[in-house]
Structure 1
Amino acid sequence: MVLHTSVVRMWSVWISIITLLLAVVIHWLYRWRNPKCKGKLPPGFMGFPLIGETLDFMVSNKSLDMPTFVKKRMKKYGPIFRTSLAGRPVVVSSDPEFNYYIFQQEGKLVERWYMDSFAKLLNQDATKIHAQKNIHKHIRNLILGHFGIGALKDNMLPKLEGVINQRLQDWSKLPISLEVKKSTAAMIFDFTAAHLFSYDAEKSGENIGESFTNFLQGLMAFPINIPGTAYHTCRQNQKKAINLITNMLEERKRNPDIRKGDFLDLLLADMKTETFLTEKFIIHMMFGLLLASFETISATLTLAIKLISDHPEVLQQLTEEHEAILNSRGDANTGLTWKEYKSMTFTHHVVNESLRLASVAPGILRRTIQDIQVNGYTIPKGWVLMVVPSAIQLNPNAYEDPLAFNPWRWQDISANVTAKNFIPFGAGMKSCAGAEFSKVLMGVFLHAFVTKYRWTATNGGEVTRSPVLGFGDGFVIQV
């Protein structure tokens, strides 16, 4: 009888414990699905605890269209909805008016923010420091001074044309076809690294630039850092670049009399007066600049080459424009001038249309620093805001037949439309300082490419979004 009573008590204890655990789990699930908010949250679904809807977000879409994840939820919830990605509550917005407003509220309602994988890649402390208003302004001015319009006009344009001509000549001599994304990424990496810290690809003994093919896709893969995974490969390639920059910095510090006239020289001079410019900050900031240039420009340039290859009428008008520039010169052997670059009206249309369709960044991220009211909803303080460029730039209300490659559409688009519906370089005070450099590089490349070379596509390169722009098995050409 005593034993029976003991067993009953034991079962009663276990039932109580299990009931308590179930109550805790149910409460936790309820709080996860229904986060605290002082008002009404935007509609949406928070997915599974911790994982959220991250796996759905990464599903590949075999089209230039916006990510399926965003498109489905826009249809169900409207242009502003909530979700959870990588364990964080996120509000996704494809509302042009709201996005325009948010970009004007830097430092007031929102602050720059990176997903954890990016923050680790660029160094968490460095990203926090860079987000501070005065520091960001200082760094932005340095970048504009070295890569902005003034630098492009004064000295960078002929150097850029020289590098592009040499690289295209090398490609034309290859006995086999080349993968465009990989090849353009390596070219842009080498050129940008040379201007940042005088990197010489030929002397390095290793083509580091080619290691960064589809780097952003690897970074956006599920962050499992074990050998064999895309994310692990991505991190290993990052280490190569970090070591390269570190070695350059240490060599320059050992030999302070060396002056190369590059971006690193500017930073080393500023280290004497700016306390935030630590070695660690400089190294990760320069890696961030490399990443922003070779990844985004190479993807857009690859798409542009693919699209003009698929549209002979565009290639014809592009070729005519550039041959007219050559024919108008007194000396055919002189290099491209800034005036000639600015005269490339149709080329600028092609570049803009490629940027619009590419929408390389899967999302522009900001974090709310106070509650934000929009359309009767409240976005709580501390939540992440994700502005989706593809949802804005492929909006049929702003662009007729938005998935069509139509450079001529830019003849009639007003500045009012582009201000809120064309954000390939972000918007507001923290738009990309390298915007003009990106467009000039593409324009100069197309100038040399269509006037001096012919090419044949040997692999079509199926366009995908995962949510990063990709090209399936690769877009391959024979030059």
Structure 2
Amino acid sequence: MCNSFMCFGVVSFFWCVFMYFPIIQVFSGNLFGPSYFMDYWVVGFLVLTAGIILRSRLWIRLTKWKTRDEDEEQEKGTKKGMIPKGSLGWPVIGETLAFIACGYSSRPVTFMDKRKSLYGKVFKTNIIGTPIIISTDAEVNKVVLQNHGNTFVPAYPKSITELLGENSILSINGPHQKRLHTIIGAFFRSPHLKERITRDIEASVGLTLDSWAQLPVVHVQDEIKKMTFEILVKLLMSISRGEDLEILKLEFEEFIKGLICIPINFPGTRLYKSLKAKERLIKIVKKVVKERQVATAERKNSPANDAVDVLLRDVSDGASSDKQSQPLDFVSGKIVEMMIPGEETMPTAMTLAVKFLSDNPVALAKLVEENMDVKRRKLESGEEYNWSDYMSLSFTQNVINETLRMANIINGVWRKALKDVEIKGYLIPKGWCVLASFISVHMDEDIYENPYQFDPWRWDRINGSANSNVCFTPFGGGQRLCPGLELSKLEIAIFLHQLVTRYSWTAEEDKIVSFPTVKMKRRLPIRVAPVERTSHIPVEDH
């Protein structure tokens, strides 16, 4: 039933969304080109046609199955725990429209909070034609994240699986996923990388901020994306600024546009364009990998310089026969996939840090004071900064944690149950999806006092008790905890250090939009000016 129900829901729902969404965007001031409208109107016509053909047949089947599913649900409830309470909403579309509407509001967690007050911290609903369990309970989320592979598997939109393939890092499970996670994580934590990447990030941030001072207005969201992509590509492939980097960036931007789209692949559609961009992107990366394959064999005993080195050495060790058969394709594909997490999370986190600090002068003054203290010490000693210098800036790390908590760039993860699972008395039926909602935990007033207030000092008051994989999960958790967690915090810390010790800025009014991804509505325009900070800056007690 679920497959047919999902098909019917997707047909009806996407007809509404994809026919009216472009019109809404125009009236809200977000204008797009002709090709954008062609994608939506063509797909909308096809979806409507499919809906007319399938609607009557599927509706009859759904009517028959409704009673049977209710009986099955009751039977499961008597055998094990109870399926969480909740509402499946309207026929076909469920509660999808309410879910999306909250994403455009100033408080996107409202959808969860309302149902949590009615049904409890774990409840059922229906989004895009399929029943799901939503957990706003930190302990339930922890179980979902930790029971990976044998109980829960990733569940992503079809456009993502079509674009990345069934063997992508996001989809693979078991020993293969665990090994990739281990070797990449070990590389990111290696002393050799820590020393080199610190210098690389400092250089990129310095050049970027120097360019900002020459511009009348800086759109932070756009400019930081350029910087973080440069750092990411250097970490993965050791490619520096130049023509190759620009071409790579253009193809990558075209590629990721298809991550959330209608999964229809024919000329002219978004998915088709993104798949073609992926082919060109893989070709560019494969050329780099091929050149490095020979060099890696010659210096096998020296430390790995980047992720290409790490993956090529893993292939040459014969860890997998599949990787041995087409090593260039394997390594190139994984490098492209590893670009994706850093494309949105890092620039969004840095942009929102600037936004929150602009709105909180007391927190900004405290951040300036702490960073100027360490800068003066370094100037007096003549020593270079190292990884631990940045990571030991306690208030800076508080600012980073508070930004990540409020930003909720990864607002949750979707998993699919491979079998009936009982957690804290709740039954999650086999085949149902589970949304472990991180944003609900991060904005829970029972865990964080005044959760909508930007308060870096809260991390001192709670003594790190919430800074765990239970109540603070900006990078996920379990076996899929982001291996670049510490590296990400380093990058943000270096950016904030150079920004507040060398420049001042004024920000224009802007708002955070949370759907379909977290971003600033106007890309956060600011005006930047270089400053000489030498004296002690008084900071109010907090």
Pair in the same fold by TM > 0.5:
yes
Matching residue of 1:469: 518
Mapping 1:110-149, distance limit 5 Å: 110-127=152-169, 130-132=172-174, 134-148=175-189
Q: Is the 8 A contact 1:368 1:384 kept in 2?
A: yes
1:317-347 C-alpha deviation (Å, 9 max, x unpaired): 1111111111112557653223422331110
Comparing both chains, which one has the higher relative contact order based on Cα–Cα distances under 8 Å and sequence gaps of 6 or more? Answer: 1
1:115-157 C-alpha deviation (Å, 9 max, x unpaired): 333323332123487311x222221222123222635533221
Cα distance in structure 2, aligned partners of 1:300 and 1:86? 29
Mapping 1:37-436, distance limit 5 Å: 38-39=76-77, 40-46=82-88, 52-59=94-101, 61-63=103-105, 65-127=107-169, 130-132=172-174, 134-148=175-189, 150-174=191-215, 176-204=216-244, 206=246, 208-209=248-249, 219-220=259-260, 241-252=281-292, 261-272=305-316, 273-275=318-320, 276-277=322-323, 278=326, 279-331=328-380, 334-419=383-468, 420-436=470-486
1:33-91 C-alpha deviation (Å, 9 max, x unpaired): 88757234222334567755444433353555344433333333322122344554321
Cα distance in structure 1, aligned partners of 2:220 and 2:272? 24
Alpha-carbon shift at residue 232 of structure 1 (Å):
7.3
Alpha-carbon shift at residue 264 of structure 1 (Å):
0.9
Sequence identity percentage: 30
1:211-235 C-alpha deviation (Å, 9 max, x unpaired): 7779978744565678998777766
Q: 1:368 to 1:23 in 2, by over 3 A?
A: closer
Q: Does 1:26 find its partner at 2:63?
A: yes
Cα distance in structure 1, aligned partners of 2:212 and 2:481? 34
1:159-215 C-alpha deviation (Å, 9 max, x unpaired): 2111211221122223x4232122212211111111212223413273654777799
Structure 1: gaps spanning 5 or more residues: 1-18
Letter of the aligned partner of 1:79 in structure 2?
A: K
Cα distance in structure 2, aligned partners of 1:397 and 1:109? 30
Question: 198-207 vs 210-219, which deviates more?
Answer: 210-219
1:84-118 C-alpha deviation (Å, 9 max, x unpaired): 44554321111112112333323443234433333
Cα distance in structure 1, aligned partners of 2:192 and 2:261? 36
Q: 1:328 to 1:308 in 2, by over 3 A?
A: same
Structure 2: gaps spanning 5 or more residues: 1-55, 529-542
Alpha-carbon shift at residue 241 of structure 1 (Å):
4.0
Letter of the aligned partner of 2:208 in structure 1?
A: R
Q: 1:255 to 1:100 in 2, by over 3 A?
A: closer
Q: Is the 8 A contact 2:418 2:431 kept in 1?
A: yes
Cα distance in structure 1, aligned partners of 2:523 and 2:261? 18
Q: What RMSD in Å do the two structures reach over aligned CA positions?
A: 3.4
Q: Is the 8 A contact 2:163 2:258 kept in 1?
A: no
Which of 488, 492, 500 lines up with 1:442 in the alignment?
Answer: 492
- Aligned length, in residue pairs: 458
Cα distance in structure 2, aligned partners of 1:242 and 1:219? 16
Question: 444-453 vs 356-365, which deviates more?
Answer: 356-365
Q: 1:409 to 1:286 in 2, by over 3 A?
A: same
TM-score, normalised with respect to structure 2? 0.75
Alpha-carbon shift at residue 394 of structure 1 (Å):
0.5
Letter of the aligned partner of 1:403 in structure 2?
A: Y
Letter of the aligned partner of 1:159 in structure 2?
A: D
Letter of the aligned partner of 1:195 in structure 2?
A: L
The SS at the match of 2:474 is coil
Cα distance in structure 2, aligned partners of 1:446 and 1:339? 15
Letter of the aligned partner of 1:317 in structure 2?
A: K
Cα distance in structure 2, aligned partners of 1:142 and 1:373? 33
Matching residue of 1:457: 507
Q: 1:193 to 1:348 in 2, by over 3 A?
A: same
Alpha-carbon shift at residue 437 of structure 1 (Å):
0.7
Matching residue of 1:7: none
The SS at the match of 2:427 is strand
Letter of the aligned partner of 1:266 in structure 2?
A: V
Cα distance in structure 2, aligned partners of 1:130 and 1:243? 23
TM-score, normalised with respect to structure 1? 0.84
Alpha-carbon shift at residue 453 of structure 1 (Å):
1.5
Q: Is the 8 A contact 1:67 1:465 kept in 2?
A: no
Q: Is the 8 A contact 1:33 1:46 kept in 2?
A: no
Alpha-carbon shift at residue 243 of structure 1 (Å):
4.1
Q: Is the 8 A contact 2:155 2:415 kept in 1?
A: yes
